[in-house]
Structure 1
Amino acid sequence: MKKYILTIACVLMVSAFAKAQSAQDIFQAVGTPSNPKVKISFNQYYTSEGLAALGKKITDAHPNLVKRMSIGKSTQGRDIWMLAITDYSTGDADRKPGFYLDGNIHSNEIQGGEISTYTAWYLTESFGKVPYITEMLKDRVFYIVATINPDARNNYMKEANTRNTPRAGMIPLDDDSDGLFDEDGFDDLDGDGSITQMRRKSTTGDFILDPRDPRKMIRISPDDVVTGQRYEMLGGEGIDNDNDGRINEDIPGYYDPNRDWGWKWQPDYVQRGAYKYPFSAPETRAVADFVKKHPNIAGAQSFHNSGGMILRGPGAEEDLATYNRADIAIYDAIGKKGEELLPGYNYLTVYKDLYSVFGGELDWFYGGRGIYTFTNEIFTGFAYYKNKDGGFDQIYAADKDLLLGDGFTPYKEYNHPTYGLVEIGGFKKNTGRATPGFMLEEEAHRNMVFVFYHAFHMPHLSIGDVSVKSLPNGLKEVTATIVNDRLMPTHASQDLKYNIERPDYISLSGAKVLAGMIVQDADFNVTTEQKNTPETIRVANIPGNSTVMVRWIVKGGNNLTIKVDSAKGGVVEQRVK
């Protein structure tokens, strides 16, 4: 009888809990989709397979907004999944201005996977509810790749690593040139999944425990009088697997996918991390092939970590001439807005504020394809206390105050085969660079709205004033003003310099066109005539926040159609009576 009553009570409790989670019992928090079709926890990280599964759920729940495709295979044969998101009921998706977004090019820089997925989720769950998103998807298409380095993402998450390894792609390399591959990588001696630090008590050691925080080691200065225990730091956990007298010198494959792109590429002896030749890694090749097949892509964003930075090129001073004043003004406007949207982040230039990068992704996107591109370095120590970034020391306080000790492995003794009795401990691999779970959704949302601001300012074309003027002998003069009301032109300066993309076409149909011209000055009637195919006027560029005026002389026709066809600006048409 007691068992029966207990069972009934449990059923009632479960029933009550289920009812508490129903849609009518939830009050929406502003800025977050209410009662989403796909429920995702954005306070945790997902493996490559986990991200792929989330992408499929989003696609299955929103078939009218998402098409999912593999753009290639990774080194180990995993699919590189892309979600193409737009309102497929309006226009040709491939002819809409496109925005490319990716994350996790470096294996340990994982937040980009979640931010990219959050962006896809937010777009689909907000369509039809948030006018800004609904309008955006009518005339924009987003190409979202959550991880372009799925093999190395899984290695970082599933294998023993430090916070900084593996940065690379997963092509096996012999880092110490001893003819062996990956034979002396990290060893997780205490089995906690993270490579922390080894220290050893020593009468001649040059470190002591910080008296204010025993988790921290501080170096002894020459004038210090030391009465307590000295330690020597031995580096990361590991043993000498190949008997060459060194530890951790040949960690799994080191090549850097962000040195593999075909713009100002340099070989490994110049640019550490470069592979055989530009696009020699299958992951970067897959992205490049996709981008080249989609000339509608006008803006791009790649997510890295960390440091709280909004980066633009050039990657190297040698490439400084690539970025001219007009395009830098556009970068500046978007980047400075990013500083407002992302508190604690700084808008910077790679070569000037960091270091030289040859063969980088953002430089290839802009230099090679004329696509305005940013790289965001996700997470900054500012996020901990919302006042300043106190550097690495701040993480000790944050672990104690905010993470409640969850980010640090206390030191424990271990009998090392080479060093004897040592102590192993320190910060876990998911502490410091990876955004803590309770901050991750805010990080994702803020970086997403920066993407939206960037995408909003891709070219947005319309046909403005149209006038029809009667001329002698049954002729008519048709004049049209083409408007671009966003920051970006239809052709970046780099595009114009190297003729990367075709001109914009402005055409008139419905009558016999005798002459076509670009109007340089309407007041003084200064025009430049196009002798060949006058019905389709070729315009080199439609500048941002500006207009282009064209004119035709036609005979006959009462129902005319003006069409603007721009690779990066899309297609618009208007009937003229």
Structure 2
Amino acid sequence: MPVVPTLDVEKYLDFKSMTHYLKAVSSAAPHLVRAFSIGKSKAGRPILVAEVTNRNLREGRQKPGIWIDGGHQGWHLLGSTACLELLRFLVAGHGRDEFLTDLVDQTVFYIAPRLAPDEMELCLKSGALVPQTAGEEKVSEVGRQFRVLNSLGSWKPFKRDNRVMVGRNPEDRKGPFFDLYRQVDSERLGQIGPHDFPNTSRQEIPLQLPSTRAVFEFMRTYGNVFAAISTSGPGDRVSLVSNHADTGLLKNLSQRLSELAGLPCAPSNPARKKPGQFLSWVSE
């Protein structure tokens, strides 16, 4: 039974740490996990997928497959973490839990934790909410900042206008100092792409983004995928979105995903058709 590295779900991993974790899990259980790239971002970062199945029995492409992704946008931080925790849970449970062992033996999971690695790196380092776009990247004005007093905080009020916060210098000793947080408009964030998947009702040329092009080619190549789960959110939740009409099934899937990931997960209402979005395209 593999000894899987632990994952600290209390913090978000940058791209380097996420890649290191995927490699560590693959090394701990090479017969269960195979990590590979399905494409590259604009900045050249690999778009990674972890294939999880017991290859000692059969190769993954000979089994029914489930696609699970996160990080379609830079602020989908919690969804990305949920994918990593699900990966850890599946591998750690193999050989220890009868249900998980049978699941990994008979099914293959394709887990893509970070489809927008460039935008998520910007969000983690600067707090910028940058959507994936085929053109020029712009910070999205979909939130406001609020401050929390902290003697060890990294921000201080500007002398000429205390409504403005500036970075704290290493030599600063006299406060007050603050931590800054962004309060996001979740509804508006949900309206922002990517809307780049093929759709007959749109005139725009599809597949202009590296992530959508990579996912499209993967689905076209791996014909064994029969289900798709997309975890997303601005960082305050994990949402399970589906176009399936059976809300009872959606609720059960959401509950199970929450149990497996150890993170709060809530189903959305059955999604209205949104031209060019992943779940609209993959359900057709």
Change in Cα spacing, 1:154 to 1:339, as seen in structure 2 (3 Å) is closer
> Normalising by the residue count of structure 1, what TM-score does the alignment of the two structures yield?
0.37
The aligned counterpart of 1:41 is 8
Contact 2:75 2:123 in 1 (8 A): yes
Instruction: Give distance in 2, aligned partners of 1:67 and 1:115.
Output: 18
Say whether residues 1:62 and 2:19 are aligned partners. Answer: no
Pair 1:348 & 2:269 matched: yes
Partner Cα separation in structure 2 for residue 344 and residue 174 of structure 1: 30
Find the counterpart in structure 1 of residue 150 from structure 2: none
Pairwise CA distance, 1:96: 0.2
Are positions 1:79 and 2:79 aligned together?
no
Q: Report the CA distance shift for 1:40/1:309 in structure 2 as closer, same or farther (over 3 A).
A: closer
| Distance across 2 between alignment mates of 1:358 and 1:146 | 23
2:66 touches 2:109 (CA, 8 Å); kept in 1?
yes
* Local SS of the residue matching 2:231: strand
Alpha-carbon deviations, 1:38-69, whole Å to 9, x = none?
Answer: 12222111012211110000001111111111
Q: State how far apart, in whole Å, the 1-side matches of 2:125 and 2:133 are.
A: 14
Distance 1:160 1:38, change over 3 A: closer
| 1:473-523 C-alpha deviation (Å, 9 max, x unpaired) | xxxxxxxxxxxxxxxxxxxxxxxxxxxxxxxxxxxxxxxxxxxxxxxxxxx
1: CA distance, partners of 2:34 / 2:117? 20
Closer, same or farther in 2 for the Cα pair 1:344/1:55, shift >3 Å? closer
Shift of 1:296: 0.5
* Structure-2 residue corresponding to 1:260: 196
CA contact (8 A) 1:75 1:171 kept: no
Structure 2 Cα separation of the partners of residues 151 and 100 of structure 1: 22
- How far, CA to CA, are the matches of 1:280 and 1:199 in structure 2? 40
Would the alpha carbon gap of residues 264 and 348 (structure 1) be closer, same or farther in structure 2, given more than 3 Å must change? Answer: farther
Q: Which residue in 2 is equivalent to 1:301?
A: 229
What is the SS of the residue equivalent to 2:199? Answer: coil
Report which of the two structures shows the higher radius of gyration computed on alpha carbons.
1
Counterparts of 2:222 and 2:276, CA distance in 1: 21
Separation (CA, whole Å) in 2 of partners of 1:308 and 1:63: 29
More strand by share: 1
Q: CA deviation at 1:107?
A: 0.5
Distance 1:192 1:105 in 2: 29
**2:279 paired residue number:** 362
Deviations 1:402-452 (A, max 9, x none): xxxxxxxxxxxxxxxxxxxxxxxxxxxxxxxxxxxxxxxxxxxxxxxxxxx
Counterpart Cα distance in 2 of 1:144 and 1:52: 13
CA shift for structure 1 position 278: 0.8
1:263/1:358 contact within 8 Å kept = yes
Q: Which of 80, 90, 96 is the equivalent residue of 1:123? A: 90
What letter matches 1:299 in structure 2?
Answer: A
User: What CA distance in whole angstroms lies between the structure 1 residues aligned with 2:126 and 2:201?
Assistant: 31
Equivalent pair of 1:338/1:347 in contact (CA under 8 Å): no
What is the aligned counterpart of 2:213 among 285, 297, 308?
A: 285
Native 8 Å contact 1:309 1:348 kept in 2: no
**How far apart are 1:293 and its partner, in Å?**
0.6
Distance 1:308 1:280, change over 3 A: closer
Decide whether the 8 Å contact of 2:71 with 2:116 is kept in 1.
Answer: yes
Deviation, 1:150, is: 0.4
Identity of aligned residues (%): 21
Residue 311 in structure 1 maps to residue 241 in structure 2: yes
Query: Quick check: 1:105–1:258 contact (8 Å CA) kept in 2?
Result: yes
Distance across 2 between alignment mates of 1:339 and 1:73: 30
SS, match of residue 312 in structure 1: coil
What secondary structure is seen at the aligned counterpart in 2 of 1:115? helix
Determine if the alignment matches structure 1 residue 335 to structure 2 residue 256: no
- Structure 2 unaligned regions, length at least 5: 140-144, 148-152, 156-161, 165-181, 183-190, 259-263
Instruction: After superposition, give the CA deviation of every residue in 1:286-339 in whole Å (9 maximum; x if it has no partner).
Output: 1110111111101111111156643223xxxxxxxxxxxxx63xx434213246
Cα distance change of structure 1 residues 155 and 174 upon mapping to structure 2, 3 Å threshold? closer
Let me know the Cα RMSD of the aligned residues. Answer: 3.3
- Contact 1:99–1:297 (CA under 8 A) maintained in structure 2: yes
Residue 50 (str. 1) matches residue 13 (str. 2): no
**Which amino acid letter does the alignment assign opposite residue 45 of structure 1?**
Y
- The higher relative CO (CA closer than 8 Å, separation ≥ 6) is in 2
User: What code does the residue aligned with 1:304 have?
Assistant: S
CA spacing shift, 1:47–1:91, aligned 2, 3 Å: same
User: Alpha-carbon deviation of 1:361?
Assistant: 0.3
Partners of 2:40 and 2:27 in 1: how far apart? 22
Contact 1:85 1:120 in 2 (8 A): yes
Mapped contact 2:4–2:88 kept (Cα < 8 A): no
> What does residue 77 of structure 2 align with?
110
Residues 260 and 279 in structure 1, CA contact (< 8 A), matched pair in contact too:
yes
Instruction: Identify the residue that residue 169 of structure 1 maps to in structure 2.
Output: 132
Q: Given residue 300 of structure 1, which amino acid in structure 2 is its aligned partner?
A: A
Mapped contact 2:134–2:208 kept (Cα < 8 A) = no
Q: Deviations over 1:27-47 (max 9, x none)?
A: xxxxxx9x9431222211101
